[in-house]
Chain A
Amino acid sequence: MTFHDAAAREFPPFSTDACIKCNVCTTVCPVARVTDDFPGPKYVGPQAQRFRGPSSLELVPDRTVDLCSGCGICTRACPAGVLIAETNNRARAAIVEQRGSSIRNRLISDTDLLIRLGSNPLAPFANFGLRNRLLRWMGERVLGIHRRGPLAPFATRTFRRWWRAERRPTAVADVLDPTRTVVYFHGCAVNGFEPDLGRDAVSILERNGYTVIVPQQECCGLPFVSNGLYDTARRKAGRNLASLAAFARAGVKIVGTSTSCTHAIKAEYREMLDLDDEDARAVADATWDICELLVDLHDRGELDTGFAPVSEPLPYHPPCQLKSHGIGTPAMDLFALVPGLRAVDQQHDCCGAAGTYGLKKERWQIAQDVGAPLFAKVRAAADAGASRAACDSETCRWQIEQSSGVPTVHPITILAESYRRADADRGRSWRRVV
């Protein structure tokens, strides 16, 4: 790669050239907000980068960069366009390459493995383990997974297993009209923990005229990226791209309910993992967040807007990963279509979870402190009558729910509920896909 190529592609470490040291990033970093141990994005980002050589063969001199949660708020705030969080992640990957990674970090990244172990008819046992204080205490001592780290209970049947049992479409051959077909990238959360969300997503897409295909897929790889384990992430990404590329090239959109997974596919495959071939570009261009897609349908007058009233206040937290999409806050646009729904953007930077960050024994308190004002706001909203909160990313949802005590759902859950009520009101049987 030449400097020119790298700069044109915004290879993150080179974007640091644009830093004018103005400290805007310093004012927005949620981690630096709560701990003095993290020197802040300017310091570990563009500033430290000048002390790391251009060659990946050189030793990374610093460690505090590992405290970066990767929320990406600094990158967005930067007036000079420096890819700060991305640079930090590269530095972390170099540290991992040089000094190795912990078993803990490998384990919590490997959601595919965890789901294979936990999401099956024996899930109640696994879930008992997740709830059992003694076992969680042991998990903290032995593995370094904080005993109160937000973990969702496993489903007894994975989304994929349900899909196969229903004999629903999985192959390119199932594409009849590419403009009316979407691929659903369910992600690990839906597959192993929240299959109902997947079913809601499918029913909404079908209601709006799409045939939904769920092809072969695995974890998007983001947890591995976040933990600096690029090699594994690249393998997972490569297999996903291999499976999804045919659809993308056929003009089929790829839709996800996890703003984390979809962001990984849209951006991180190229920016972080250097997967920048035609397949990767085609898949990235075809990938949509589900709310983004529905808003797009609405813009074109094609969205079924027959939403029944959901008369409640709804505290909403747009997660960092969603904000990194650069698509605005499409859930807010959709909430505005639901009569009676009073959704309020909580205007808080970050819930703290940041994927696996908030699970780690040594990071848990930071993650809690980062999210504390949000939890308080959500609790206040609940005191004022809200029965639940909404958020687009799974780990953020779990963090908010666990730390605020207020049930927290995906925006899709609310939309599906509104559609179902509308059907019930009209006496029609728009059956929830079960």
Chain B
Amino acid sequence: MPRADVVVIGAGLSGLSCAAELAAGGARVFLAAKGYASTHWTHGGTDVAAPAGARTPREGVATLAAIDGHPYGWLDGALDAAIAAHRVRLDTAGIGLVGTLDDPLVPIPTAIGTLRPAAILPAAQAAALEPWGDDGLLLVGFGRYRDAWASYAARNLRASAWEAGPGEIRALEVDLPDLAELHNLNARSLALRFDDPAWRTRALATISARIPPGAWRVGLPAVLGSAAHLAVLEQARSTLGHEVIELPSLPPSVSGLRLATALERQIMGSGGRVQVGFDVVEVERDRRRIVAIHTEAASRTLRLAADTFVLATGGIGGAGIRAHPDGTLEERVFGLPVEAPPRDGWFSDDPLVPHPLEAAGIRVDDLHRPIGQDRMPLLDNVRVIGSALAGMRYLAERCGDGVALASAHHVASSLARSAVAA
């Protein structure tokens, strides 16, 4: 395998974004991942920061930056450029990105009828950010799609305290054409159907015919097309005659799938290589430098030598960090020390509240090199980004995407700078 400038390990939001930025800048990039992960599981929005009390993402970032050891403590400066770069990539892909760090965090409806705070969303979800005025929210479920619960969601939203929310909330269950006898439809199978112009014309007409009179924004399952998303979205708006809002639900997340596919294409389009499906099984090390990693292969291994290795393997959720029965936590590629609470303090009693273990991760210096107890770098040419980082609670703080993007950009731009300097 020809030597790369940078090997990025991991195909989540941080790894893909970092590789895309590096490749676009002309670096020879090889992205090696064990599999796909977080992008396919999440809502596809851009959660930057939404701790309690924050009115905008920027305020949220400031709050989090004040927490000792939080990555925003040093990444807040990288955020503007990171979001801007992300916006360019998403615009190019026809996904779009609406909202800025200074826009208000507003409650947006979820598939189950709760409200979550958001300010920066892909185009398909962005209509939820606009002030509701007199508009009503019409939630549409598809008869055969298990993961849209329009009526339940509408009842929950009506029971919730939604300040300055829609004037009216209604639900509609629509049976789309040709689906009656099919098996276990999921978000991807529906999105592929929406990619088909003939079917989606009929489907959208079926929905349109059921929409009651009034000024609505129509909440639809987040299945509005995969490859043809932009066309589907536009056709949905024009056929229904209302703004539409995609409501992401259970995995597979089509919103996230679009994002991952777009970023992967951009990496490859810039001459980068992507190999998904093979775990790192061996590391060649020369004192504090990684010389090469080896990924598993059908026989032997694939040796990937590079100047820099970006660790973007995720935390416990992405299995970059693995917990053992004895309560130890292992960083799976380089065996880096993992900062974590003691085993008996990992969890809260309620599964729906934050667990102390969520803050577990790898400590880094301001270049994102992993550090030890003495705060000195353990490896000089390794950079850790994304949710492998210690000190953040991506669910409780709703900061996972922001930290992923900011750390990816911070590392990509500093590597580009040092390459120019060299």
A80 to B34, CA, bound (A): 8
Q: What residue of chain A has the Cβ atom nearest to residue B256's Cβ? A: A27
Whether the pair B2, A295 counts as a contact (CB closer than 8 A) is: yes
A3 CB, nearest partner CB in chain B, Å = 16
Q: What residue of chain A has the Cβ atom nearest to residue B10's Cβ? A: A79
Whether the pair B35, A76 counts as a contact (CB closer than 8 A) is: yes
Q: What residue of chain B has the Cβ atom nearest to residue A284's Cβ? A: B299
* Per-residue contact bits, chain B 253-281, to A (CB 8 Å; 1 contact, 0 not): 00001000000010010000101111100
Asked if B88 CB lies within 8 Å of chain A CBs, one says no
Contact of A267 with B299 at beta-carbon distance under 8 Å, contacts A22-B40, A323-B277 already known: yes
Whether the pair B35, A36 counts as a contact (CB closer than 8 A) is: no
B191 CB, nearest partner CB in chain A, Å = 9
Q: Give the contacts of A275-322 with B (CB-CB under 8 A).
A: 284-285, 287, 295, 298-299
* Per-residue contact bits, chain A 326-349, to B (CB 8 Å; 1 contact, 0 not): 111110110000000000010100
Whether the pair B186, A81 counts as a contact (CB closer than 8 A) is: no
A329 to B278, CA, bound (A): 14
Q: What residue of chain B has the Cβ atom nearest to residue A73's Cβ? A: B277
Asked if A43 CB lies within 8 Å of chain B CBs, one says yes
Q: Which of A22, A79, A330 gathers most chain B CB within 10 Å?
A: A79
A320 to B37, CA, bound (A): 20
Whether the pair A27, B296 counts as a contact (CB closer than 8 A) is: no
A59 CB, nearest partner CB in chain B, Å = 23
A347 CB, nearest partner CB in chain B, Å = 6
Q: Give the contacts of B287-336 with A (CB-CB under 8 A).
A: 295-300, 302, 318-319
* Per-residue contact bits, chain B 93-135, to A (CB 8 Å; 1 contact, 0 not): 0000000000000000000000000000000000000000000
A285 to B278, CA, bound (A): 17
Asked if B74 CB lies within 8 Å of chain A CBs, one says no
Whether the pair B2, A327 counts as a contact (CB closer than 8 A) is: no
Residues of B within 8 A of A33 (CB): 192
Residues of A within 8 A of B419 (CB): none
Whether the pair A285, B40 counts as a contact (CB closer than 8 A) is: no
A73 CB, nearest partner CB in chain B, Å = 8
Asked if A156 CB lies within 8 Å of chain B CBs, one says no
The answer, among A284, A295, A326, A332, for a CB contact under 8 Å with B277, is A326
The answer, among A79, A267, A298, for a CB contact under 8 Å with B34, is A79
Whether the pair A23, B2 counts as a contact (CB closer than 8 A) is: no
Residues of B within 8 A of A323 (CB): 275, 277
Residues of B within 8 A of A43 (CB): 184
* Per-residue contact bits, chain B 23-55, to A (CB 8 Å; 1 contact, 0 not): 000000010001111001100000000000000
Residues of B within 8 A of A333 (CB): 1-2
A326 to B300, CA, bound (A): 10
Asked if A266 CB lies within 8 Å of chain B CBs, one says yes
Contact of A326 with B189 at beta-carbon distance under 8 Å, contacts A23-B251, A295-B2 already known: no
Whether the pair A326, B186 counts as a contact (CB closer than 8 A) is: no
Asked if B252 CB lies within 8 Å of chain A CBs, one says yes
Q: Which of A26, A33, A39 gathers most chain B CB within 10 Å?
A: A26
Q: Which of A267, A285, A347 gathers most chain B CB within 10 Å?
A: A347
Q: Give the contacts of A69-99 with B (CB-CB under 8 A).
A: 75-81
Asked if B188 CB lies within 8 Å of chain A CBs, one says yes
Whether the pair B275, A328 counts as a contact (CB closer than 8 A) is: yes
Asked if A422 CB lies within 8 Å of chain B CBs, one says no
A22 to B317, CA, bound (A): 11
Asked if A48 CB lies within 8 Å of chain B CBs, one says no
Residues of A within 8 A of B189 (CB): 32, 36
Residues of A within 8 A of B40 (CB): 22-24, 27
Residues of B within 8 A of A284 (CB): 298-299
A237 to B295, CA, bound (A): 26
A389 CB, nearest partner CB in chain B, Å = 17
Contact of A77 with B265 at beta-carbon distance under 8 Å, contacts A36-B182, A326-B275 already known: no
The answer, among A39, A40, A77, A327, for a CB contact under 8 Å with B297, is A327
Q: Give the contacts of A12-35 with B (CB-CB under 8 A).
A: 22-24, 26-28, 32-33
Contact of A81 with B279 at beta-carbon distance under 8 Å, contacts A23-B186, A327-B297 already known: yes
Asked if A324 CB lies within 8 Å of chain B CBs, one says yes
Q: Give the contacts of A33-85 with B (CB-CB under 8 A).
A: 33, 36-37, 39-40, 43, 75-81
Residues of A within 8 A of B2 (CB): 295, 298-299, 333
Contact of A26 with B298 at beta-carbon distance under 8 Å, contacts A79-B34, A328-B273 already known: no
A413 CB, nearest partner CB in chain B, Å = 22
Contact of A76 with B297 at beta-carbon distance under 8 Å, contacts A26-B252, A39-B184, A328-B302 already known: no
Asked if A106 CB lies within 8 Å of chain B CBs, one says no
A82 to B182, CA, bound (A): 27
Whether the pair A326, B296 counts as a contact (CB closer than 8 A) is: yes
Asked if B183 CB lies within 8 Å of chain A CBs, one says yes
Whether the pair A324, B184 counts as a contact (CB closer than 8 A) is: no
A298 to B2, CA, bound (A): 8
The answer, among A26, A37, A77, A327, for a CB contact under 8 Å with B35, is A77
Residues of A within 8 A of B298 (CB): 263, 266-267, 284, 324-327
Q: Give the contacts of A371-420 with B (CB-CB under 8 A).
A: none
A32 to B192, CA, bound (A): 10
A27 to B253, CA, bound (A): 9
Whether the pair B183, A77 counts as a contact (CB closer than 8 A) is: no
B311 CB, nearest partner CB in chain A, Å = 16
Residues of B within 8 A of A40 (CB): 186
Whether the pair A39, B183 counts as a contact (CB closer than 8 A) is: yes
Residues of A within 8 A of B251 (CB): 22-24
Contact of A27 with B184 at beta-carbon distance under 8 Å, contacts A81-B34, A324-B298 already known: no
A106 to B32, CA, bound (A): 38
Whether the pair B296, A78 counts as a contact (CB closer than 8 A) is: no
A40 to B251, CA, bound (A): 14
Residues of B within 8 A of A326 (CB): 275, 277-278, 295-298, 302
A319 CB, nearest partner CB in chain B, Å = 13
A43 to B184, CA, bound (A): 10
Contact of A285 with B300 at beta-carbon distance under 8 Å, contacts A22-B40, A36-B182, A295-B1 already known: yes
Q: Give the contacts of B38-84 with A (CB-CB under 8 A).
A: 40-41
B293 CB, nearest partner CB in chain A, Å = 13
Residues of A within 8 A of B37 (CB): 22, 24, 79
Other than A22-B251, A323-B275, A325-B298, give 8 A-B pairs with Cβ distance below 8 A: A24-B40, A26-B252, A39-B183, A40-B186, A76-B277, A79-B36, A328-B275, A333-B2
Counting from the closest, the 4 A-B pairs by CB-CB distance are A76-B277, A326-B297, A79-B35, A266-B298
Sample (18) of A-B pairs whose CB atoms are under 8 Å apart: A23-B251, A24-B36, A24-B37, A24-B251, A27-B188, A32-B189, A36-B182, A39-B183, A77-B35, A79-B35, A80-B319, A263-B298, A266-B299, A284-B299, A287-B299, A299-B1, A323-B275, A326-B275
- The chain B residues found within 8 Å of chain A, CB to CB, are 1-3, 30, 34-37, 40-41, 182-184, 186, 188-189, 192, 250-252, 257, 265, 268, 273, 275-279, 295-300, 302, 318-319
